[in-house]
């Protein structure tokens, strides 16, 4: 659905449409699967700009080209178009069933007094991926296992005991395996025919630390015999698959979620499997997978919707890199500054200004010479007024041929206002340009948008305007210029809408106080819960977040004449800002975890559903 953001009240001449699409360079903080709009803050590169931005979704902007450094999602529209199969039962029923199964598992922890049974229970719970539900029970069981006198003669159980304790940070000496060695210090041959025991030994040995040759020897011994068994076809399911995976990547080094997926399919084939554990693991998997698939769909849509936002900024940076012609570079810098998006491209503008300064500029166009003069002086670089001598006659006055060029005269007029003391040449240029611009205005010889620009300049020249107000006018006019760059205009409109939305909320917060103070409060507290609001100040020395709350509980003792009521009254309090149509979801996965999850759920998942 195509989406636009109407500007609530600042624009009386029309509607500005913001169109976006690419995710910010810094990833969102978290993802909400419920689909409710959420706030997200963007950290700007400029020291002068940092504000919370609300971003909308839109299909109306198609990036002009694919930028290699900002590639589309590797998933494409897979998760957007993927229809998750409905759960076999209602989510409430499944949650209730899961709670009952949890209670059954807790009873198992309480009733398993035998150390060997307790170890197998802890190992199964961990490998089935439901250990997060029983942290207290597992910790108590590990404590009991540590304190118990464990004297098993089974290599499988001794290795399991060793692995569980070391996994939980409890030191166990490798001497535990000495009972399975002969007088020569090597492992006895009788254990070489026990694949399950060898697998347990192999996995346990990978929890070695430096200077433990006993475990290195155990690892080598177990691997040798497991590989020989694998090649001889002597293994049965599911032990064959478990050994193949361990030889590829031992259990302590696997990615837990991936191993859990394999083990859940194998656990039911083990003789000692506990049905209630498997039921709970499947149920928990189904519930969590259902959430993950919704989140992947939401994130993929978010990525797709925001794809153009960063790409707009990146396309502008590409323009700075590819505009080698000085004249084009000047027009680009001027447009970016006048559209109010220069804070996004400070480095690029500084580099461009440096290039413009160093280049040999020999244009015969008064407009370009004046623009060159103004840009450099605006950036604190001295340019001599002599650059305008080429447009003067022998008598030292400006030639009449330029008097019929309104755009050139406007550029000269604005540039001349960057004069300093004792520069009569610029005072003369200012007077000449103003005289001819006024005559053109009176003669109705001007066309839009030049007529409006000249009228504003004659009232207040460009270097003396308030930048934000001039930007508002120029944004409506820039699209009518022949040299208009669409990507600049799209980005400027979007940036304006985002910032205006923040300003309207701040004005509403200020009005709630009653009368906006000259300097904002650092933290005004009332009976209600404090709410944060950020303030953008003109001063470079001050920018801070102020906590502002409703002032209903603050009643002035008397009216003080020096603090009159707000001139705004209740306008901003009662003014409902039109909501931005946000499609942003906070996402809390670490990237590698998220990619692994995506890969995991990219496959068919129907076979893992638990049938009740």
Distance spanning both ends of the chain, measured CA to CA: 40
Residue 392: band (very low, low, confident or very high) from pLDDT cuts 50, 70, 90? very high
| Residue 104 reports pLDDT greater than 80 | yes
d(CA 55, CA 28): 12
Residue pair 373/347 in contact (Cβ under 8 Å)? The answer is no
| Residue 304 reports pLDDT greater than 90 | no
Share of the chain above pLDDT 70, in %: 72
Which pair of structure tokens corresponds to residue 9? 């009240």
Tens digit of pLDDT for each residue in 564-600?
A: 666 777 777 777 766 554 433 333 333 333 334 334 4
- The contacts of residue 394 (CB under 8 Å, 6+ apart) are none
d(CA 230, CA 434): 93
Q: Where are the beta strands (DSSP E) in 444-492?
A: none
- Length of the chain as a residue count: 612
d(CA 206, CA 203): 5
pLDDT value of residue 308: 58
**Topology of 112-273 in CATH?**
Glycosyltransferase (1.50.10)
pLDDT value of residue 155: 96
In 3-state terms, what secondary structure has residue 331? helix
Closest CA to 374 of 462, 285, 470, 491: 462
Mean pLDDT confidence for 279-288: 93
Give the DSSP letter string of 299-310.
HHHHHHHTHHHH
Tens digit of pLDDT for each residue in 68-91?
A: 344 666 777 787 787 777 777 788
pLDDT value of residue 514: 53
Closest CA to 320 of 343, 348, 339: 348
pLDDT value of residue 536: 37
If one compares 504 and 21, the residue with the highest pLDDT of the two is: 504
In 3-state terms, what secondary structure has residue 448? coil
**Left if phi > 0, otherwise alpha if psi is -120 to 50, otherwise beta: which for 340?**
left
- CB-side neighbour CA atoms (13 Å) of 511: 15
If one compares 432 and 589, the residue with the highest pLDDT of the two is: 432
Closest CA to 195 of 222, 215, 231, 157: 222
Residue 41: band (very low, low, confident or very high) from pLDDT cuts 50, 70, 90? very low
Tens digit of pLDDT for each residue in 161-219?
A: 999 999 999 999 999 999 999 999 999 989 999 999 999 999 999 999 999 999 999 99
CATH of domain 311-491: 1.50.10.130
Closest CA to 416 of 399, 434, 404, 403: 434
| Residue 232 reports pLDDT greater than 90 | no
Partners of 56 in the beta sheet?
Answer: 582
Q: What is the Cα gyration radius of the chain?
A: 36
Mean pLDDT confidence for 456-476: 93
If one compares 326 and 316, the residue with the highest pLDDT of the two is: 326
- Please report where in the chains the tokens 């153009």 appear, as a residue: 308
Helix (H), strand (E) at residue 532: strand 531-534
- Please report where in the chains the tokens 């650059």 appear, as a residue: 387
**CATH 1.50.10.130 placement within the chain:** 112-273, 311-491
d(CA 44, CA 52): 10
| Residue 53 reports pLDDT greater than 50 | no
Residue 315: band (very low, low, confident or very high) from pLDDT cuts 50, 70, 90? confident
Closest CA to 187 of 149, 152, 162, 220: 220
pLDDT value of residue 307: 61
Write the DSSP symbol of residue 535. -
pLDDT value of residue 125: 97
Candidate from 60-74, 224-238, 427-441, 492-506 with smallest mean pLDDT: 60-74
- The contacts of residue 218 (CB under 8 Å, 6+ apart) are 174, 177, 187, 201, 202, 204, 205
Residue 300: band (very low, low, confident or very high) from pLDDT cuts 50, 70, 90? confident
Residue pair 303/23 in contact (Cβ under 8 Å)? The answer is yes
Give the DSSP letter string of 8-74.
SSS-SS-----------SSPPS---TT-----EEE--SSTT--EEE--B--SS---SS--TTSPPPT
- Please report where in the chains the tokens 């118990």 appear, as a residue: 148
At residue 600's C-alpha, the angle toward residues 595 and 601, to 5°, is 100
Mean pLDDT of the chain: 77
d(CA 56, CA 584): 8
pLDDT value of residue 61: 34
- The contacts of residue 91 (CB under 8 Å, 6+ apart) are 287, 290
Candidate from 65-74, 144-153, 157-166, 596-605 with smallest mean pLDDT: 596-605
| Residue 38 reports pLDDT greater than 60 | no
d(CA 362, CA 354): 17
pLDDT value of residue 314: 75
Mean pLDDT confidence for 29-55: 33
Closest CA to 385 of 424, 331, 434: 424
Mean pLDDT confidence for 470-490: 91
Give the DSSP letter string of 232-274.
HT---TTHHHHHHHHHHS-GGGS-HHHHHHHHHHHGGGSTT--
Partners of 187 in the beta sheet?
Answer: 181
Give the DSSP letter string of 79-94.
HHH--PPPPSS-HHHH
* Phi and psi torsions of 533, nearest 5°: -145, 140
Residue pair 427/416 in contact (Cβ under 8 Å)? The answer is yes
pTM of the model: 0.48
Share of the chain above pLDDT 90, in %: 51
Which pair of structure tokens corresponds to residue 24? 């910010």
| Residue 62 reports pLDDT greater than 50 | no
Tens digit of pLDDT for each residue in 534-571?
A: 433 333 333 333 333 333 443 444 444 455 666 777 77
Which pair of structure tokens corresponds to residue 220? 């080598």
Within 10 A of 447 (CB to CB), how many other CB atoms are there?
9
At residue 340's C-alpha, the angle toward residues 335 and 341, to 5°, is 85
At residue 206's C-alpha, the angle toward residues 201 and 211, to 5°, is 110
């Amino acid at each position: 659905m195509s989406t636009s953001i109407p500007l609530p009240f600042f624009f009386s001449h029309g509607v500005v449409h913001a169109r976006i699409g690419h995710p910010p360079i810094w990833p969102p903080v978290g993802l909400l699967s419920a689909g409710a709009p959420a706030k997200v803050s963007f950290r700007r590169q400029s020291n002068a700009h940092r504000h919370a931005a609300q971003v909308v979704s839109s299909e109306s902007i198609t990036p002009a080209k694919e930028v290699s450094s900002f590639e589309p999602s590797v998933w494409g529209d897979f998760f957007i178009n993927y229809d998750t199969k409905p759960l076999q039962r209602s989510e409430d029923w499944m949650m209730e069933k899961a709670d009952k199964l949890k209670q059954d598992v807790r009873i198992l922890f309480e009733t398993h007094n035998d150390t060997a049974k307790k170890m197998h229970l802890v190992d199964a719970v961990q490998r089935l991926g439901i250990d997060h539900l029983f942290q207290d029970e597992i910790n108590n069981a590990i404590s009991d296992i540590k304190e118990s006198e464990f004297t098993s003669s089974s290599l499988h159980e001794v290795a399991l005991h060793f692995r569980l304790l070391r996994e939980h940070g409890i030191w166990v000496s490798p001497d535990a395996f000495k009972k399975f060695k002969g007088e020569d210090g090597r492992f006895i041959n009788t254990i070489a025919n026990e694949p399950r025991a060898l697998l347990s030994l192999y996995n346990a040995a990978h929890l070695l630390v430096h200077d433990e040759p006993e475990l290195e020897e155990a690892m080598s011994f177990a691997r040798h015999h497991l590989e020989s068994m694998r090649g001889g076809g002597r293994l049965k399911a599911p032990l064959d698959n478990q050994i193949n995976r361990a030889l590829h990547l031992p259990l302590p080094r696997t990615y837990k979620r991936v191993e859990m997926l394999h083990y859940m399919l194998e656990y039911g084939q083990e003789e000692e499997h506990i049905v209630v554990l498997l039921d709970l693991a499947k149920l928990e998997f189904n519930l969590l997978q259902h959430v993950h698939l919704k989140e992947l769909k939401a994130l993929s849509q978010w990525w797709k919707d925001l794809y153009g936002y960063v790409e707009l900024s990146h396309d502008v940076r590409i323009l700075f890199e590819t505009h080698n012609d000085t004249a084009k570079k000047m027009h680009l810098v001027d447009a970016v500054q006048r559209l109010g998006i220069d804070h996004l491209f400070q480095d690029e503008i500084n580099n461009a200004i440096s290039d413009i300064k160093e280049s040999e500029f020999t244009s015969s166009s008064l407009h370009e010479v004046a623009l060159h003069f103004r840009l450099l002086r605006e950036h604190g670089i001295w340019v001599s007024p002599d650059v305008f001598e080429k447009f003067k006659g022998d008598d030292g006055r400006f030639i009449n041929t330029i008097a019929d060029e309104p755009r050139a005269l406007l550029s000269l007029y604005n540039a001349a206002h960057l004069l300093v003391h004792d520069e009569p040449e610029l005072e003369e240029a200012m007077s000449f340009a103003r005289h001819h611009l006024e005559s053109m205005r009176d003669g109705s010889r001007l066309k839009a948008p030049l007529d409006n620009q000249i009228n504003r300049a004659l009232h207040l020249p460009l270097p003396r305007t308030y930048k934000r107000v001039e930007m508002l006018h120029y944004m409506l006019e820039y699209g009518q210029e022949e040299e208009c760059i669409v990507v600049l205009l799209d980005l400027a409109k979007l940036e304006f809408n985002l910032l205006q939305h923040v300003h309207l909320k701040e004005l509403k917060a200020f009005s709630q106080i009653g009368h906006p103070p000259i300097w904002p409060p650092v933290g005004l507290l009332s009976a209600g819960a404090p709410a944060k609001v950020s303030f953008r100040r003109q001063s470079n020395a001050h920018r801070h977040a102020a906590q502002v709350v409703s002032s209903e509980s603050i009643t002035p003792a008397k009216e003080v004449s020096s603090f009159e009521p707000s001139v705004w009254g209740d306008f901003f309090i009662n003014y409902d800002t039109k909501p931005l149509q946000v499609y942003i979801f906070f996402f809390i996965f670490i990237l590698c975890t998220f990619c692994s999850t995506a890969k995991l759920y990219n496959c068919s998942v129907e076979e893992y559903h638990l049938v009740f």
